[in-house]
């Protein structure tokens, strides 16, 4: 079989390992002499985690999280007139043949690193079986995580489980999800059943048994919904049933130590102590940010960022917050307590209008400039798709420093941080929250009890179970967390819901117009809601890879 060496092995495995845990220079090591010890294995594992951060933004924001947000009905492309890729993703169109080149390469870099570590396990001198199990379980979790991102974006992709690069065709959906299920089940079996607690602070950002159980449920729900199957395949030709997944979720709910925090609004850093003293919304509701360390029992798995970002490694900071913040106003006070960014992902005004006003999560999740920003300046830096609504969960958050300047709260927390606003968002990107675990359990059991637990936190009355009630609850609780689009796809209602974006009033560089998504239902039918493969990868495969349906004709160009 023809082999195509797309990757430079040494650079691929060791580049970008700093920050999660600082490591030595590894450029003189290769797979003939590394990893050999438990310490080597830990360093190799750190190198896999490093790519979680690095792949968050992608070129022009073409990372998984931002792409999922723009594809949903909750947010528009936004940005400026030149942000054509954002506008294309929002409309399920394309503007060039390699829109997702970074995503593809970064995911496969991470998979390669995972494979290399997993293939080396038997040759390592382990200090204990417990150490091996913890590292092995995390590597399996991470490989599943990266494959699941690829499968949701592109449908089917090549399946590689060794560190030997090969030019292979796409695997089937059954083969890919069987591998994902195998990796997550292995992670569940290998990782210890240690309850979450403040004493586990050194493990924050690391995969746990509980995170693996939750991610397996998410993968099961997507696979069985999108592909209309009753169960999820396993590598031994058996299957994972609904009952099996419920058992895993019950274990996570009952034994993980994770829970809902008391106030939904305290999950988000606009309620931090430095911002609160000048932010009326936080003051009026007596909010107190729970933070991202041991007290935050709700986070099951998150991508961690640091205060060490530079222009050599900008992904050390959370670029999702940078992309999602308003474009530069005349005065930062005009948008306080929020900071500036690139204006991507303006919020669909119909979401605000359809969200019950008695639900405190509406104002906790969406910034209405009419209600909160009397001095807001419209059309800053040629803002497109402007609605007067921004999401609050992942946006630059400012506070006034001792000199009275509006600066990112991270600059007060970490005085050593770079002062460039493009490099100082340290907020974690939460991938799995305990609230989602409860809602997945409610959906799989068709039982309102876990859902009503989520509702009770925000003061809402209990409801009886129905698909509509469950879908609404996921929408309100998990808005702007990268889940909505793939929920719509797996429920089979994406065409109907996304078409409702047509006609929403927006300002494009201060010109009043209405969103024109065209016949997005037709494009969803043609593409199955999947993204186009990068042409560079198709070319490198010498024709082994073929483009996804619906992306090979001029009618789908923006």
Q: How far apart are the first and last CA of the chain?
A: 38
Q: What is the span of the domain harbouring residue 227?
A: 175-260+297-302+429-465
Pairing of strands 299-303, 511-514: unpaired
Listed in sequence order, the residues at least 6 apart from 307 whose beta carbon sits closer than 8 Å to its beta carbon are: 410, 413, 414, 416, 417, 424, 426
pLDDT, position 199: 60
Pairing of strands 429-433, 389-391: unpaired
Judge whether 33 lies within some domain.
Answer: no
Each residue's pLDDT expressed in tens, for the chain with a length of 558 residues: 223 333 333 333 433 343 332 334 444 566 667 899 999 999 999 999 999 988 766 667 788 999 999 999 999 999 999 999 999 999 999 999 999 999 999 999 999 999 999 999 999 999 999 999 999 999 999 999 999 999 999 999 999 999 888 899 999 999 999 999 999 999 999 999 999 986 666 678 999 999 999 999 999 999 999 999 999 999 999 999 999 999 999 999 999 999 999 999 999 999 999 999 999 999 999 999 999 988 999 999 999 999 999 999 999 999 999 999 999 999 999 999 999 999 999 999 999 999 999 999 999 999 999 999 999 999 999 999 999 999 999 999 999 999 999 999 999 999 999 999 999 999 999 999 999 999 999 999 999 999 999 999 999 999 999 999 999 999 999 999 999 999 999 999 999 999 999 999 999 999 999 999 999 999 999 999 999 999 999 999 998 999 999 998 544 544
The SS3 call for residue 438 is: helix
d(CA 156, CA 136): 25
DSSP state of 33: T
Token pair, residue 495, equals 């065409």
pLDDT, position 164: 86
The SS3 call for residue 512 is: strand
d(CA 535, CA 523): 20
Listed in sequence order, the residues at least 6 apart from 15 whose beta carbon sits closer than 8 Å to its beta carbon are: none
Judge whether 13 lies within some domain.
Answer: no
In the block, tokens 């792949």 appear at: 55
Judge whether 389 lies within some domain.
Answer: no
Give the tens place of pLDDT for each residue, 389-408: 999 999 999 999 999 999 99
Q: Are 425 and 396 in contact (CB under 8 A)?
A: yes
Q: Are 58 and 106 in contact (CB under 8 A)?
A: yes
How many structural domains compose the chain?
1
pLDDT, position 96: 92
Token pair, residue 478, equals 């998990």
* pTM over the 0.85 mark: yes
Tally of CB atoms within 10 A around 236: 8
Judge whether 372 lies within some domain.
Answer: no
Judge whether 104 lies within some domain.
Answer: no
Judge whether 77 lies within some domain.
Answer: no
pLDDT, position 144: 98
Listed in sequence order, the residues at least 6 apart from 159 whose beta carbon sits closer than 8 Å to its beta carbon are: 147, 168, 170, 171, 175, 176, 179
CATH number where 222 lies: 1.25.40.390
The SS3 call for residue 470 is: helix
pLDDT, position 225: 98
Judge whether 228 lies within some domain.
Answer: yes
Peptide bond connecting 439 to the previous residue in cis, omega within 30 degrees of 0 = no
DSSP 308-374: ---TTSGGGS-HHHHHTSPPP-S-GGGGTTB-----B-PBPHHHHHHS-TT-THHHHHEEEHHHH-T
d(CA 454, CA 435): 6
pLDDT, position 201: 67
In the beta sheet, which residues pair with residue 239? 233
Query: Long-range contact list for 122-129, CB < 8 A, 24+ apart?
Result: 123/36, 124/35, 124/36, 124/37, 124/38, 124/40, 124/41, 125/36, 125/37, 125/38, 126/38, 126/41, 127/37, 127/38, 128/38
pLDDT, position 113: 96
pLDDT, position 32: 67
CA-closest candidate to residue 384, choices 513, 557, 499: 513
pLDDT, position 528: 98
pLDDT, position 198: 67
Pairing of strands 398-400, 389-391: unpaired
Task: State the alpha helices, DSSP H only, in 397-512.
Answer: 409-413, 434-445, 448-457, 467-478, 484-491, 494-499
d(CA 237, CA 287): 51
Q: How long a stretch of residues is the chain?
A: 558
Judge whether 231 lies within some domain.
Answer: yes
């Amino acid at each position: 079989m023809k082999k195509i060496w797309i990757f430079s092995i040494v650079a691929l495995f060791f580049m970008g390992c700093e920050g999660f845990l600082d490591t030595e220079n590894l450029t003189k090591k290769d797979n003939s002499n590394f990893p050999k010890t438990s310490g080597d294995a830990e360093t190799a594992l750190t190198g896999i985690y490093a790519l979680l951060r690095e792949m968050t933004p992608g070129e022009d924001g073409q990372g998984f999280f931002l792409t999922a947000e723009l594809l949903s009905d909750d947010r528009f492309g936004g940005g400026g007139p030149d942000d054509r890729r954002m506008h294309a993703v929002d409309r399920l169109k394309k503007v060039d043949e390699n829109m997702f080149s970074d995503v593809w390469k970064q995911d496969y870099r991470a998979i390669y690193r995972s494979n290399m570590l997993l293939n080396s396990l038997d040759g390592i001198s382990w200090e204990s079986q417990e150490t091996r199990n913890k590292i092995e379980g995390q590597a399996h979790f991470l490989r599943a995580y990266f494959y699941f991102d690829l499968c949701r974006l592109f449908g089917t992709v090549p399946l590689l489980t060794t560190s030997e690069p090969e030019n292979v065709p796409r695997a089937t959906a059954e083969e890919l999800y069987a591998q994902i299920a195998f990796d997550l089940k292995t992670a569940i079996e290998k990782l210890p059943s240690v309850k979450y607690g403040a004493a586990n602070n050194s493990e924050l950002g690391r995969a746990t048994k509980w995170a693996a159980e939750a991610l397996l449920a998410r993968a099961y729900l997507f696979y069985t919904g999108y592909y209309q199957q009753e169960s999820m395949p396993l590598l031994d030709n058996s299957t994972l049933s609904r009952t099996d997944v419920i058992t895993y979720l019950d274990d996570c709910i009952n034994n993980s130590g994770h829970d809902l925090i008391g106030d939904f609004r305290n999950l988000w850093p606009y309620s931090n102590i430095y911002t609160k003293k000048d932010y009326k919304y936080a003051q009026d509701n007596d909010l107190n940010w729970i933070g991202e360390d041991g007290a935050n029992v709700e986070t099951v798995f998150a991508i961690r960022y640091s205060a060490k970002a530079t222009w050599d490694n900008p992904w050390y900071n959370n670029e999702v917050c940078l992309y999602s913040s308003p474009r530069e106003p005349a005065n930062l006070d005009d948008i306080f307590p929020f900071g500036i960014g690139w204006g991507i992902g303006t919020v669909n005004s119909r979401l605000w209008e359809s969200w019950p006003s008695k639900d405190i999560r509406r104002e906790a999740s969406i910034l209405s400039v009419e209600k909160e920003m009397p001095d807001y300046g419209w059309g800053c830096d040629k803002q497109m798709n402007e609605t007067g609504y921004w999401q609050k969960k992942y946006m630059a958050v400012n506070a006034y420093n001792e000199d009275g300047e509006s600066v990112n709260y991270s600059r007060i927390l970490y005085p050593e941080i770079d002062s460039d606003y493009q490099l100082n968002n340290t907020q974690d990107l939460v991938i799995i929250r305990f609230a989602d675990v409860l809602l997945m359990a409610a959906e799989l059991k068709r039982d309102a009890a876990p859902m009503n637990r989520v509702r009770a936190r925000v003061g809402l009355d209990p409801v009886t179970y129905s698909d509509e009630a469950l879908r609404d609850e996921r929408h309100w609780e998990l808005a702007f967390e990268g889940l909505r689009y793939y929920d719509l796809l797996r429920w089979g209602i994406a065409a109907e819901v996304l078409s409702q974006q047509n006609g929403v009033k927006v300002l494009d560089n201060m010109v009043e117009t209405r969103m024109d998504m065209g016949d997005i239902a037709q494009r969803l039918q043609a593409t199955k809601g999947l993204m186009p493969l990068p042409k560079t990868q198709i070319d490198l495969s010498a024709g082994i890879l073929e483009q996804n349906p619906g992306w090979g004709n001029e009618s789908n160009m923006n």
